[in-house]
Amino acid sequence: MKSSRCFVLLLAIAVLFSFAVGSEAAPSRVLKLGHAVPEENAYHYGAQRFKDLVESKTNGDIQIDVFPNNQLGTGERDIIEGLQLGTIDLYVGSTGPMGGFEKKFLLFDFPFLFKDKKHVYDVLDGEIGTYIMGLLDDKGIHGLAWMENGFRNLTNAKRAINTPADAAGLKIRTQENKLHMAMWRGLGVDPTPMAWSEVFTALQQGTIDGQENPVPVIYTSKLYEVQKHLALTRHVFSPAIILVAKALFDSLTPEQQEIFRASAKEAAIYEREVCDKMENDYLGSLKQNGMEITTPDLALFQEASLKVYDEFKGELGDDAKLLDQIIASGK
């Protein structure tokens, strides 16, 4: 009888211990991170690195589930709005739609603003980038780190592009960004905003003639299947960003907040390296897949785009001076 009681007691202890261990192993929070591109894209690599770092540094207390390829929305703007609504926790992606949330983000959308990538990151990782990112807090969004999408280039199915005149008359998909659209209109192009999820089919059906994006996006989205010509116009550098819902970030402990910041910065550096390698590798792959690549006279495109500065500089208010600072820092 005594041994029977001991057995029952030991069994109860084992069950309680098992339950305790299971409870410790379960994450206290499971967060949703969304982005708009395929898993082959550099954004996804950055998102995965961020996920791994946060989960490791919190000892699994916070789990992040990554949803690529517009699984959480119909486009980047939709996902960012989800941060404000609290239906989505984290976003990795382009800053193209950000001007619709905070107009000072238009600062980075001016054409031919940056000399090269070193110039870009001297600005983004410096005082100007920190200031612009900080403006999002009042919008219910908190910025964690700058990543990269890269310099944008023009593709189309009709003809090679060497001068602005060659682009005139083309119907080109753009982001929902009024500055980008004004630039293209100034070049005689018909800019057509469209969710990224719809672009491949629209190109395939001839609804639009082309689109503009960095080389890694062009390759990983297999646009070579529906586009013949790639012009390395490098007209706008497209930063990317890691965002978190402000309400969620504020609910974290100070230690967890620091983990998020440090992990985002580390993931951003990794993503930039991936993006650089992809750009170098994929140019050759695009040629092998039949794309004809031209290197236009960028001075002609720059000259044709200058009026965009006059048209939109005023929207930056007192911060319009930052444009001059960025340009001067690249000389």
Task: Determine what percent of the chain is predicted with pLDDT higher than 70.
Answer: 92
Instruction: Kindly report the three-state secondary structure assignment for every residue of 53-102.
Output: HHHHHCCCCEEEEEECCCCCCCCHHHHHHHHHHCCCCEEEEECHHHHHCC
260-280 pLDDT, tens digit each: 999 999 999 999 999 999 999
Is 268 a domain residue? yes
**CA distance linking residue 80 with residue 85, whole number of Å:** 9
Average pLDDT over every residue of 169-176: 92
Q: Could you tell me the CA-to-CA distances from 309 to 29, 299, 305 in Å, in that order?
A: 45, 16, 8
pTM: 0.84
Q: Are 189 and 170 in contact (CB under 8 A)?
A: yes
Considering only CA atoms, give the Rg of the chain.
Answer: 23
Parent domain of 135:
27-329
| Tally of domains within the chain | 1
| Backbone phi and psi for residue 330, each to the nearest 5 degrees, phi listed first | -90, -5
Average pLDDT over every residue of 141-153: 96
CA 71 distance to own-chain centroid: 15
Residues 6+ positions from 120 with CB-CB distance below 8 Å: 114, 148, 237, 239
- Average pLDDT taken over every residue of the chain: 91
Average pLDDT over every residue of 66-76: 92
Is 5 a domain residue? no
Is 13 a domain residue? no
Closest listed residue to residue 249, CA positions, set 78, 95, 86, 52? 86
Is 253 a domain residue? yes
Residues 6+ positions from 135 with CB-CB distance below 8 Å: 102, 104, 105
Is 67 a domain residue? yes
Is 133 a domain residue? yes
SS3 112: coil
**CA distance linking residue 183 with residue 7, whole number of Å:** 79
Is 11 a domain residue? no
Is 101 a domain residue? yes
- Helices 127-134 and 117-124 meet at what angle, rounded to 10? 60
Closest listed residue to residue 226, CA positions, set 173, 290, 166? 290
282-309 pLDDT, tens digit each: 999 999 999 999 999 999 999 999 999 9
Q: Could you tell me the CA-to-CA distances from 161 to 191, 196, 228, 295, 299 in Å, in that order?
A: 16, 23, 11, 8, 14
- Helices 42-57 and 254-288 meet at what angle, rounded to 10? 150
CATH, residue 112:
3.40.190.170
Phi-psi region of 111 (alpha: psi -120 to 50; beta: other; left: phi over 0): beta
